[in-house]
Structure 1
Amino acid sequence: MDPAELNTAMEDVRRAGIPGLFAEVRHGGQVWRGAAGTADVATGRPITADMRHRVGSVTKTFTAAAVLQQVESGQIGLDAPIGRYLPKLVPGGRGDAITVRMLINHTSGLAEYLPYAYPSLKAFPALADTGPQSLDDHRLTRFDPTELIELGVTAPAAGPPGGTPGLYSNTNYLLLGQLLEQVTGTTAEECITRNVIERAGLSDTAFPAGPHVSGPQSRLYEAWFGMIDPPRDYSVFDMSYAGPAASLTSTVADLNRFYGLLFAGEIVNRSSLTQMRRTVSIISQESKLIEYGLGLHPMEGPGGGTFWGHGGTVWGGGTLSMISADGKRQMSVAVNLQRWNRLGATGRPQPHPIDDALAAFYRVAMRR
């Protein structure tokens, strides 16, 4: 690793328009941590690499690992129908046709509940007719996961169970949370905390009990495609709308430790890890066709070689954590601005210098 090159690439992201970002890169026994910019644009408080951060859908890898642990112990069948466990939440023929695996890899055909929970995002991700008003309306709303699941299950299906390409849908992971609760007798958050977070020794990773994040943190600025100008702080937000799909808080150091242990076979066994890396084609929330496994997705590294991990966004915050297939190189990065791209005439996000600067940082961080 070249610390000077990493620092320069990080500063380039800040200069492109991100208020603040921080990251940790590991290669073998080497560790680099860096930060650039501010955690609070009003006070100029600097951002630091040890801050806690809402990591969004990176949570899905933790949830998938917890489910696979139950598969290993015989409590859950990976290819068993979800209706066997949750007949009231996914009733009838769909409950018989949708398997646990289909929930984890987003091929269930279940719709995304988010546009129904946040009415002003009704067209998301077709963004031309959306607005940010629901974000303010629901800052402190405490959602019931079963009500959110019902919104996704009763919405028009995105496709047939098992069909590809699948559709990335948080409904799947709320159902996995209810599945964990059903078979363990504890909440999904308690199960994941005990069996994944504590098992991995992640002292700065937790499900927040309310709308606040404990410990040192940055404010999170949401631009909503230029509709919020200047970007507004959403660092205080009740994450019950996401639950085991996207509500974890963590640090870049904890994320790298987690993925390192996962790929070393210390969170789930090697057979489960092989299952996690079996991919199918799905349509992402950005309407892009991607490959997706069981709570993991692959990403091509610079110069060849595959990295595995997950990205995540919340209102105002973004995270990406990736590890090389052999486990030797890792990168976790967090930013405190989201949806910086303005919309063009077609209603789709337009290119922004931040996109290129972040891509350049990823190339430096993942280069081996």
Structure 2
Amino acid sequence: MKNPLDSAALDAAVDHVHRAGMPGLFAEVRHGDHVWRGAAGVADTATGRPVDAGMRHRVGSVTKTFTAAAVLRQAESGRIGLDAPIGRYLPKLVPGERGEAITVRMLINHTSGLAEYLPYAYPSLKAFPDLAETGAQSLDDHRFTRFDPEELIALGVGAPAVGAPGGAPGLYSNTNYLLLAELVAEVTGTTAEECITRDVIERAGLRDTTFPTGPEIEGPHSRLYEAWFGKIDPPRDYSVFDMSWTGPSASLISTVADLNLFYAQLMAGKIVGPSSLEQMRRTGPVISQEGKVIAYGLGLHPVEAPGRPTFWGHGGTVWGGGTLAVTRADGARQMAVAVNLQRWNTLDASGRPQPHPIDAALDSLYQVAMYG
């Protein structure tokens, strides 16, 4: 069989992203038994140490697919009802009428109406960075701050609702996934991280995917450079950072190879059963953190283009790092990309991000990687 992966085009596309301004990136594309891995640029701008496609990386909200899969496995075993009210399981965290109105499914697909806790964390806890007010120093001050998930959840639950439970469009909110982590812990008697590791990571056969045990990334990795829309200039390394501010909503560390393996196993029905997978791919409108309306299922969202096959997966960002991992609906082709700079766009007078050459270069890479 002719190799369906155009290595030269993929090499050129990765190099183009680097030349457009990305310090370093690495990726893996698979089609059947054919595999391409590539990297361009540096993992450390001070030393010139190159990036490598085998590096470990903070994958941000890609973690949500893992957490959703763990919840669905508990639902398959009968410990969780997807359409049961969250107040039945966690009455202290979501009390009263809201606890009765919000179901587990609404948490997974972001239609709970619960606000994102992040905007409230700095003024309430005096502990989460508020770059608009304090600049980059606030990030440095809280590299090692340890957050209590119940305090973060309380901020989201206590904030004004962003919609009615089950309403459309939903609003993407990390509060939902911190609650799901507490739910998993409640029904299993262990931590969400331990449950996800056992039921999802180990089940998928992933060898380089772990939750962090401290503020550092263990194993070979890149530095992660945060620009915060031009307000941190030059961009600063935040690869050392305590990820308790996101917990099992966005703290996972993995590799591009492991992410492709995970989504291949998931789409093949080897992590959750066929009925659960079908529900994961049942989408509704959700407003993303960038303010765009996207289609979102249960920890999965589609990547679609007219006349092209649909891909399923998730993207994620952390301070300085970004990831996108997607798999074609039939499982035949996969792409995982990791970058070591975030929020490279500058803002216009109204606060909207302005186009940057990196945006177009990344889009070109995605097109080549997904469609050839």
Q: Common fold, TM-score beyond 0.5?
A: yes
- Given the alignment of the two structures, is residue 278 of structure 1 paired with residue 299 of structure 2, yes or no? no
Superposed displacement of residue 103, structure 1: 0.1
Q: Show the counterpart of 2:313.
A: 309
CA contact (8 A) 1:301 1:307 kept: no
Superposed displacement of residue 59, structure 1: 0.1
SS of the counterpart of 1:40? coil
- C-alpha separation in 1, matches of 2:292 and 2:135: 22
**TM-score in terms of structure 2 length:** 0.96
- Given the alignment of the two structures, is residue 361 of structure 1 paired with residue 365 of structure 2, yes or no? yes
- C-alpha separation in 2, matches of 1:355 and 1:131: 25
- Given the alignment of the two structures, is residue 69 of structure 1 paired with residue 70 of structure 2, yes or no? no
Superposed displacement of residue 118, structure 1: 3.6
Aligned partner letter, 1:306:
T
SS of the counterpart of 1:310? strand
1:21 to 14, 25, 29: 25
Alignment of 1:82-97 (within 5 A): 82-97=86-101
**TM-score in terms of structure 1 length:** 0.97
Q: Show the counterpart of 2:239.
A: 235
- Given the alignment of the two structures, is residue 186 of structure 1 paired with residue 217 of structure 2, yes or no? no
- C-alpha separation in 2, matches of 1:133 and 1:90: 34
2:263 to 259, 263, 273: 259
Cα distance per residue 1:24-49 (max 9 Å; x no partner): 00001100000000000000000000
- Given the alignment of the two structures, is residue 287 of structure 1 paired with residue 287 of structure 2, yes or no? no
Q: Show the counterpart of 1:34.
A: 38
- C-alpha separation in 2, matches of 1:129 and 1:160: 31
Alignment of 1:312-327 (within 5 A): 312-327=316-331
SS of the counterpart of 1:26? strand
Superposed displacement of residue 348, structure 1: 1.1
Identity over aligned residues, as a percent? 77
Cα distance per residue 1:70-91 (max 9 Å; x no partner): 0000000000000000000000
CA contact (8 A) 1:301 1:367 kept: no
Cα distance per residue 1:185-205 (max 9 Å; x no partner): 000000001111111111100
SS of the counterpart of 1:45? coil
- Given the alignment of the two structures, is residue 330 of structure 1 paired with residue 337 of structure 2, yes or no? no
Superposed displacement of residue 134, structure 1: 3.1
- Given the alignment of the two structures, is residue 46 of structure 1 paired with residue 70 of structure 2, yes or no? no
Structure 2 residue runs of 5 or longer lacking an equivalent are none
- C-alpha separation in 2, matches of 1:263 and 1:292: 16
SS of the counterpart of 1:254? helix
Superposed displacement of residue 298, structure 1: 0.4
Superposed displacement of residue 304, structure 1: 1.3
RMSD between superposed Cα atoms in Å: 1.8
Q: Show the counterpart of 1:136.
A: 140
- C-alpha separation in 2, matches of 1:301 and 1:284: 18
Structure 1 residue runs of 5 or longer lacking an equivalent are none
CA contact (8 A) 1:118 1:134 kept: no
- C-alpha separation in 1, matches of 2:145 and 2:219: 22
- C-alpha separation in 2, matches of 1:249 and 1:73: 27
Superposed displacement of residue 136, structure 1: 2.0
**Residues paired across the two proteins, number:** 366
